[in-house]
Amino acid sequence: MDAKFLAASEKHPIVEGHVFQYGTAGFRMKADLLDGVTFRVGLLAGLRSRKLNSTIGIMITASHNPFPDNGVKVVDPSGDMLEQEWEAFATQLVNAKSHDDLLKTYKELASKLKIDLGAPGDVIYARDTRPSGRKLVAALSDAFEATDTPYHDCGILTTPQLHYMTRCINTSGTPQAYGEPTEEGYYKKFADAFVKALKGRKVQGDLIVDCSNGVGGPKLSQFLKHVPRDKTGFKVKIVNDDVLRPELLNQESGADFVKTKQRAPPSPKPVPGARYCSFDGDADRLIYYWTDPDTGFFMLDGDRISSLAASFIADLVRSAGLDQELRIGVVQTAYANGASTNYIEKHLQLPVVCTPTGVKHLHHAAMKFDIGCYFEANGHGTVLFSIDARRAFRDTEPQSPAQKDALDTLAAVSDLVNQTVGDALSDMLLVEVILAHKKWSLKDWATTYTDLPNRLVKVEVANKDAFTTYDAERRLENPPGLQDKIDECVKKYTNGRAFARASGTENACRVYAEAATRSEADELAARVAEYVNQYGS
Ligand code: G16
């Protein structure tokens, strides 16, 4: 095996002079740095699958990043993100200096983790529409061939579809079987659940879906073929779905653009009053919005989706008579608008937990509830239902038609929401179901609470790793003295709140600020960004 291993490794050298780190969503950087990294992630996935005797997933995507970037991340057997302890092993393998070092590190890891290298492994992988993905999947297959690891190339998929497939394969034939492990199976599962969850209601109004010129466009179009329009009333127009010109990916479109710029994509020209939503480049984030003829652009972001879902599900749980039995909670990050946290805690009377950025952190916190609703403000999230919750929806004997209705709807909703990771397509269906049940327009949804004006700014710094945080990324530990400056500054603004943190997916720091008025939020963000600039140069 050694000769085969070394020969394959030589085909995929690591670019020298870089220290690679498994970040918020795996390794993400300029695609031309990734060949050797991807080969080594393939080795790691093989080890993990042998260790757990399960199928491991790998997704090649850089999601919201510009098209010259790409990334690679590992998906665990139940479809969630790679266990954190293994992120360190991935970082170790990827940073091995020479081919011999790599082989040595690989064997040492196998022996330390008591992995039988002769055990059967299994890895599946997919990529988004970035042209660089083709070369990177070749690096993966070389890693599997070199280590005799069985593998399967799932082609081009959205990130949540790959997570779905991984879970389906690993749960197949068990009581927790998640579905058919094919793209077709994915469409059927969510289309069926959509019809069931609507319970005869119809979606009101057409929806224009901006797909960021990414993989979500063709996949949504496939999905819609499975949705009976007469039964659901679901009429969708897909825009920004050009995947043939790669340079258009995430350009002036998509969920990240809408959230950070706080405006609709310029193209196609927004139609006042029409209902819109945006996916990001790999279709795991979702943002809704409309342009009001009188008041202008209004955005319904991850915080809004989270509070809408939590409120709807909590009402159903009460109507189902399960409120004493099931614990519902909401998980957010420091980016959550203070008004949303207040609404969820005070009005919905639900507990809110704050974690660091990255769905991997939110997902684990959400699993501690029977029903855990987690969304990042950027539109990335889902709702997790525990085995007990799903059993209660199925096995509770209804005592009234209203209780039966609530139980059936909860069961359908728990099938409708992708249980593996945030999924723009599945989340969009959830929003549509809730709006149809409540007979709400986007404007009705928007009136639930008033956001504090906020601003998110990206600051390029010489070394983003010099910025370390604590308290769920709400405070800076380093560079020394910077947090004091931010604290002093925040005090001057009514309802002011601000923080800075290093991005785990881009070479930059992010600054978030909110305050009582638009101009104060903008000013606070600009001041904190200026400090970050000073301390980071
Ligand atoms: C990824 C993560 C998200 C995170 C985002 C930005 O999203 O999956 O959890 O919020 O990056 O992270 P950071 O601020 O550390 O750059 P995506 O959609 O790009 O995969």
Contact criterion met (CB below 8 Å) for 213 and 243: yes
Question: 64 CB under 6 A from ligand 1?
Answer: yes
DSSP annotation of 318: H
pTM exceeds cut of 0.90: yes
Beta bridge partners, 499, equal 512
| Domains of the chain, start order | 2-171 (3.40.120.10), 186-298 (3.40.120.10), 302-446 (3.40.120.10), 454-536 (3.30.310.50)
Closest atom, ligand 1, to C-alpha of 24: 15
Say which residue the tokens 């498994």 belong to: 22
Give residue-wise pLDDT tens across range 370-400: 999 999 999 999 999 999 999 999 999 999 9
Q: Catalytic positions, please? A: 63
Contact 284 CB / ligand 1 (< 6 Å): yes
In a mutational test of the pocket of ligand 1, which residue from 278, 306, 380 has the highest number of ligand atoms less than 8 Å from its CB? 380
pLDDT tens for 192-245 read 999 999 999 999 999 999 999 999 999 999 999 999 999 999 999 999 999 999
Protein residue with its CA nearest to atom 6 in ligand 1: 505
**What is the pLDDT confidence band of residue 537, given thresholds at 50, 70 and 90?**
confident
Residue 280 assigned as binding residue: yes
Strands 328-333 and 352-355: parallel
Q: Decide: helix, strand or coil at residue 380.
A: strand
Respond yes or no on whether ipTM tops 0.85. Answer: yes
Half-sphere exposure of 120 (CA within 13 A, CB side): 5
The pLDDT confidence band at residue 1, using thresholds 50, 70 and 90, is: confident
Q: Which residue has the tokens 């020298």?
A: 16
CA–CA distance from 373 to each of 117, 139, 318 (Å)? 39, 37, 16
Token pair listed for 461: 């710094």
